[in-house]
């Protein structure tokens, strides 16, 4: 399956490739910077969580690398 065929977090067709920072809660300054394909639902979840981060599988995620 080619990149961009489905959302990183579900099977929905993604809307766009998004710059995402993720980190573990105890260590918020140690961030990984990724680009992930996201559907509009997951983009919305992440953007609603804002700088607190959207939790998934032990990671917190937010939109943007800054
Ligand atoms: Zn999704």
pLDDT single digits (tens) 9-64: 999 999 999 999 999 999 989 999 999 999 999 999 999 999 999 999 999 999 99
Residue 37 · residue 4 · CB < 8 Å: yes
CA of 8 to the centre of ligand 1 (A): 6
CA of 35 to the centre of ligand 1 (A): 14
Which among 22, 24, 41, 40 is positioned nearest to 32, based on CA atoms? 22
Say if 9 falls within a structural domain: no
Which pLDDT band, with edges at 50, 70 and 90, does 2 fall under? Answer: confident
Which pLDDT band, with edges at 50, 70 and 90, does 1 fall under? Answer: low
- The residue that leads in pLDDT, 1 or 4, is 4
The DSSP element (H or E) to which 31 belongs, if any, is none
> Which residues span the domain enclosing 48?
16-63
Which residue intervals of 1-66 are DSSP H helices?
A: 40-49
Task: Please tell me the total count of domains within the chain.
Answer: 1
Angstrom distance (rounded) from CA 24 to CA 37? 21
Say if 20 falls within a structural domain: yes
CA of 15 to the centre of ligand 1 (A): 9
CA of 29 to the centre of ligand 1 (A): 26
Model-level pTM greater than 0.75?
Answer: yes
């Amino acid at each position: 399956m080619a990149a961009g065929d489905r959302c990183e977090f579900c099977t929905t067709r993604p809307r766009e490739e998004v710059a995402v920072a993720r980190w573990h809660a105890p260590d918020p300054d140690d961030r990984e910077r990724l680009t992930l394909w996201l559907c509009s639902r997951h983009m919305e979840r992440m953007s609603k969580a804002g700088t607190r981060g959207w939790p998934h599988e032990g990671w917190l995620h937010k939109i943007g690398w800054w």
